[in-house]
Copies of this chain bind each other. A is one copy, B any other.
């Protein structure tokens, strides 16, 4: 009997151990390719049975953060954190640019006659309908973010179809005559993923998501897009950069 209080509330011990190991890995204390201590040693360190450690390691292996090789050991896998730059000319496609196989997929789109109050207000819809796009961005097959994008329906006719074809919001907007837009405001928060979000992003329940709420405007200040994006916290980091150095935009 280890006398350790086990899970005092709500979290299985193996999950707490998994999170601890994850912090060590993504925090940089364990480099890619490095070998983890043997399970027996970890078990001793955390004061639990080896099977409990195994369950934690299995969870990390399931998300491809580590790879176990029988007879040899468990190794930290190659894992890249996508750095997404947020600035006046923020385009997710720019952050994805250098990456392999980035794909943006349209989950659903709908014209909403009566959008939520926040949307109506910030997009200055004034009673008009809103267009809602639900998207998922993946890199190398791994989902990165889950976005909800609101537009004034009458300002962007056919946008959903265009987006579905091009896979890019910037490109789709160009086909409706909008060549430029500017990020006017962004707020960042974080929370546990909901069950639905976890499903869309191939996460286990309880994973952490970074949530941005952003407003894009045309160059004359007209509100264009209200976006709520949920990034997989384990795979994405936001770079706020330095405002003064950010006047030119990206690329």
Interface residues of chain A, those whose CB is within 8 Å of chain B, are 7-12, 14-16, 18-20, 22-23, 26, 59, 83, 86-88, 182-192, 194-195, 204-206, 208-210, 233-234, 236-244, 246-247
Give A243 to B236 CA distance when docked, in angstroms. Answer: 21
Give A228 to B238 CA distance when docked, in angstroms. Answer: 14
Give A154 to B64 CA distance when docked, in angstroms. Answer: 44
Residue from B189, B205, B234 in contact with A191 in the complex, judged by beta carbons closer than 8 Å: B234
Residues of B within 8 A of A18 (CB): 10
Residue pair A10, B11 in contact (C-beta under 8 Å): yes
Residue pair A12, B11 in contact (C-beta under 8 Å): yes
Residue from B191, B204, B234, B240 in contact with A187 in the complex, judged by beta carbons closer than 8 Å: B240
Known: A11-B11, A188-B210. 17 other contacts (CB 8 A): A7-B12, A10-B59, A12-B12, A15-B206, A16-B195, A19-B192, A20-B195, A22-B191, A88-B243, A182-B242, A183-B242, A185-B242, A188-B188, A189-B233, A190-B209, A190-B233, A243-B244
Write the chain B residue with the least CB distance to A9. B204
Residue pair B242, A191 in contact (C-beta under 8 Å): no
Residues of B within 8 A of A86 (CB): 240
Residue from B9, B10, B192 in contact with A208 in the complex, judged by beta carbons closer than 8 Å: B192
Residue pair B190, A9 in contact (C-beta under 8 Å): no
Residues of B within 8 A of A15 (CB): 9-11, 206
Taking chain A's interface residues, is the majority helix, strand, or loop, or is none over half, making it mixed?
mixed
Residue pair B242, A240 in contact (C-beta under 8 Å): no
Give A26 to B213 CA distance when docked, in angstroms. Answer: 14
* Minimum distance in angstroms from A186 CB to a CB of chain B: 4
Residue from B12, B205, B238, B244 in contact with A189 in the complex, judged by beta carbons closer than 8 Å: B238
Residue pair B237, A243 in contact (C-beta under 8 Å): no
Residue pair B205, A208 in contact (C-beta under 8 Å): no
* Minimum distance in angstroms from A192 CB to a CB of chain B: 5
Known: A243-B247, A244-B247, A246-B243. A237 touches B189 (CB 8 A): yes
